[in-house]
């Protein structure tokens, strides 16, 4: 079993403190949902875990099986087992999707243990089929000219190809129609198991009908305000962030979206 521990995490962006003490423990075999109003710091949390250079950790710790993640470079974090499906993936001309994924897979392997091409292609075809993606997507340039929905699927494709220990999926549902949402959920559910843990960041409860979380966290004002089971997400759907925050006696700082 692996553990990702986030302890008392404070993060600033451009000198402004966004996260004000986040505590969260994610284990393999678990799926956690992190919900919260817009602007509360959910993406900031994901970026800080992955090591985006614009986000500065001012206090607290992130540990992966006891190892200090904050001391690792972005690529080291990824090779240690972390994966982040981002809200707005970059478009990179000239590099095919397949080439990129092979480089990512082989970056984790020793020189004498690179994944054979045939094995890679077989795996790729299988995952493409599962995600209902046409084969030519693999030969297109990385995210270039992809629609919003195609980009999201492509993030999940990478997740399935790379098979990390922990995945953070940041608003993987935004802008998806119901069919695409189901496909993306199918991909994530296929990953579920003993050796995999996920943190699903979402604004809406809808996605959680398809990927049922083990734990739900509600984040407000740069902190985890409330933690519970899947029923918490349903409650949120009925009462809204406002209702919950009033009950908790919290002030919502950012505007509700």
Partner 1 sequence: MKLNKQTTVLDDLTAFSKHKNEPDWMLQLRMQALSKIEALPLPNIERVQFDRWPLLEAEQAFQAMSADDLEGVSFQIDEKSEQAAVIQFGQHTVIEKLPESYRQQGVIFTDIFTALKDYPDLVKEAYMQLAVQPDEDCLTAFHAAFMNSGVFLYVPKDVHLTEPLEAHFFQNSRIKEPFVKHVLIYADTNSSFSYVEKFETLFHEPNTANCIIEVVAKPGAEVKFSAVDQLGENTTAYFNRRGHLMHHAHVDWALGVMNNGNVIADFDADLVEEGAHSEIKAIAISMGRQIQAIDTRVTNIGRHSIGHILQHGVVREQATLTFNGIGHILKGASGADAQQESRVLMLSDKARGDVNPILLIDEHDVTAGHAASAGRVDPEEMYYLMSRGISKEEAERLVIRGFLGSVIKAVPLKGVREELIETIERKLIE
Ligand X SMILES: Nc1ncnc2c1ncn2[C@@H]1O[C@H](COP(=O)(O)OP(=O)(O)O)[C@@H](O)[C@H]1O
Distance CA 120, CA 221 (A): 44
Stretch that binds ligand X, among 31-39, 56-64, 114-122, 144-152 (CB under 6 A): 31-39
Residue 95 touches partner 1, criterion: CB under 8 A: yes
C-beta of 47 vs 232, nearer to partner 1: 47
Stretch that binds partner 1, among 93-101, 129-137, 173-181, 193-201 (CB under 8 A): 93-101
Residue 162 gets the label, from left (phi > 0), alpha (psi -120 to 50) or beta, of alpha
Residue 66 touches partner 1, criterion: CB under 8 A: no
Residue 12 touches ligand X, criterion: CB under 6 A: no
Distance CA 217, CA 226 (A): 6
C-beta of 60 vs 195, nearer to ligand X: 60
Stretch that binds Mg ion, among 35-43, 73-81, 135-143, 151-159 (CB under 5 A): 35-43
Is the distance from CB of 233 to CB of 205 less than 8 angstroms? yes
Distance CA 97, CA 59 (A): 37
Out of 54, 58, 68, 147, the only residue in the binding site for ligand X (CB under 6 A) is: 54
Residue 40 touches ligand X, criterion: CB under 6 A: yes
Residue 99 touches partner 1, criterion: CB under 8 A: yes
C-beta of 93 vs 178, nearer to partner 1: 93
Beta strands in the chain (DSSP E): 3-13, 16-27, 31-35, 55-64, 67-68, 82-85, 166-170, 197-202, 215-220, 223-228
Core vs surface per residue 229-244: b (16+ CB within 10 A) or e: ebebbebbeeeebeeb
Stretch that binds Mg ion, among 38-46, 115-123, 177-185, 219-227 (CB under 5 A): 38-46
Q: How far is the CB of 55 from ligand X (least distance, A)?
A: 7
Distance CA 102, CA 117 (A): 9
Q: How far is the CB of 174 from Mg ion (least distance, A)?
A: 9
Distance CA 109, CA 101 (A): 13
Q: How far is the CB of 101 from ligand X (least distance, A)?
A: 26
Instruction: Give contact residues for Mg ion (rule: CB under 5 A).
Output: 43
């Amino acid at each position: 079993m692996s553990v990702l521990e986030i302890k008392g995490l404070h993060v600033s962006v451009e000198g402004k403190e966004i996260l004000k003490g986040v505590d969260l423990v994610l284990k393999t075999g678990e799926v956690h949902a992190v919900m919260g109003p817009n602007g509360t710091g959910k993406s900031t949390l994901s970026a800080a875990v992955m090591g985006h250079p614009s986000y500065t950790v001012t206090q607290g710790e992130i540990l992966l099986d006891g190892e200090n993640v904050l001391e690792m470079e972005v690529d080291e974090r990824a090779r240690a087992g972390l994966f982040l499906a981002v809200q707005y993936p970059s478009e990179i001309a000239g590099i095919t999707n397949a080439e990129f994924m092979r480089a990512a897979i082989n970056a984790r392997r020793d020189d004498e243990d690179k994944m054979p091409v045939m094995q890679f292609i077989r795996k790729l075809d299988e995952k493409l089929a599962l995600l209902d993606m046409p084969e030519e997507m693999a030969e297109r340039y990385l995210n270039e000219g992809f629609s919003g929905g195609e980009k999201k699927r492509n993030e999940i494709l990478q997740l399935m190809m790379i098979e990390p220990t922990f995945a953070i999926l940041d608003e993987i549902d935004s802008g998806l129609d119901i069919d695409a949402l189901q496909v993306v959920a199918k991909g994530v559910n296929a990953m579920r198991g003993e050796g995999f843990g996920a943190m699903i960041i979402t604004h809406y409860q809808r996605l959680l009908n398809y990927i049922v979380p083990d734990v739900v966290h509600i984040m407000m004002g740069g902190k985890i305000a409330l933690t519970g089971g899947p029923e918490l997400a349903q409650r949120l759907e009925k009462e809204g962030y406002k209702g919950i925050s009033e009950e908790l006696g919290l002030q919502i700082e950012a505007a509700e979206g």
